Structure 1
């Protein structure tokens, strides 16, 4: 009823044998599938928009910036700079040192070589794709500074971007509250329509 088709895409989770490279391949396969089915269902063969929340937002950003075939990206509460102090602190505090290793597909050593992490960080792979960022300022899983810093870097690089901070909202960005969910969907819809040229 908003005038466009939505494909809800699933992907594997990172583990000892599945890294970010594989997750990007999952999204690539889904985009190819959706494109192939366009004639059957009567929607555009290309020129899509990608939206994700949390880990899906990280993947939406990374895919959108590195594959160069998205008209826009919307990322809700996205981890975007995986080598930042707040991400490293969160991993230490929660005993999750392994998750970034799995995403990177290699054991991250403590020597200070962040090249494997940088490769899977949207912050370090920015390309000129309009990017909407929505984040709760009470998010205790992905600090709001992740979106704030990405927004500042996008502005610095001249990429069209918008940052919406949801006051008092946690890692669900208010998607579990009817009025905030409606507002998020409205903002996402407006962003997609604005960039659907």
Structure 2
């Protein structure tokens, strides 16, 4: 450590917060109403503390950080900083690129908050559930920011096949996907390239990726994660698929035993990619 200025050593010291663990910090990261995030801080923070960007689901057009509030608290209690991020809904004016820009803005904001709270300015992990998992994959694979790992729970990862879009249409979610892609689907035949552009399957990059999916998911077929996992393995991307047998779209997060499996798997994945 010889030769390092004393002030620089402060960045390697541990910061201890006495705040109530039932509290979280509500912050506005941008100008839009939904540009909000909740920052969950563990008792002990230093520059080696993992920072997780958590993205909620809701079919890209409903819900908010309350969907992932419990997950954020549980992961905070396991020793990581968690930024639980809200973002705009898709609409005639807001599409996939805009949601990814929201996430980028949120990460930039979280990075700036590191000066106040003592965690690292860069090198974050990103995770999401359902639509949030889709966005986590898309963001992680396309950003120039340093993302250490991705965790995707029940992720829609391939939205450009006739089979998948007809499945989505049957579930009443085709309008959501059309707004996401800013394109229309005729209902048969191969979709246009706008649907490929919003498919993580077509955007993969060498970012460690953990996929968790229930075999009985009625909203996002388990095969989506099987196919993405195979593609990642084929391209030698550090990746893992955890199959939650018999679980639905919640991947078992609503049952204590399986919730523990999922949370422990996320923590293990992040801690192995610090």
Classify the TM-score, shorter chain: over 0.9
For residues 75 and 117 of structure 1, the distance between their equivalents in structure 2, rounded to whole angstroms, comes to 19
In the alignment, structure 1 residue 132 sits paired with structure 2 residue 210 = yes
Alignment of 1:136-151 (within 5 A): 136-151=214-229
Question: For structure 2, which runs of at least 5 residues remain unmatched after alignment?
Answer: 1-76
Distance 1:23 1:113 in 2: 22
TM-score by length of 2: 0.69
CA drift of 1:106 comes to 2.5
Change in 2 beyond 3 A, CA 1:86/1:77: farther
Q: 1:75 to 1:93 in 2, by over 3 A?
A: same
The CA distance in 2 between the partners of 1:3 and 1:102, in whole Å, is 37
User: CA-to-partner distance for each residue in 1:155-175, whole Å, 9 max, x for gaps?
Assistant: 111101000010110000011
Q: Which moved more, 1:182-191 or 1:1-10?
A: 1-10
- Tell me, yes or no, if structure 1 residue 178 matches structure 2 residue 256: yes
Residue in 2 that maps onto 1:105:
182
Q: What are the superposed Cα offsets for residues 133-189 of structure 1, whole Å, 9 maximum, x if unpaired?
A: 000000000000000000000011110100001011000001111111111110000
Kept after mapping to 2: 8 A contact 1:108/1:116:
no
Relative contact order, higher structure (CA 8 A, sep 6+): 1
**Structure-2 residue corresponding to 1:81:** 158
Give the alignment's TM-score, normalised by structure 1.
Answer: 0.95
Conserved 8 A contact 2:229-2:241: yes
CA shift, 1:18, in A, is 1.0
Deviates more, 1:8-17 or 1:151-160: 8-17
Matched, 1:93 2:170: yes
CA displacement 1:79-106 (0-9 Å, x = unmatched): 0000134422222313332222100123
CA RMSD of aligned residues (A): 1.4
Pair 1:114–1:63, CA change in 2 (3 A): same
Q: How many residues align?
A: 196
Contact 1:132 1:161 in 2 (8 A): yes
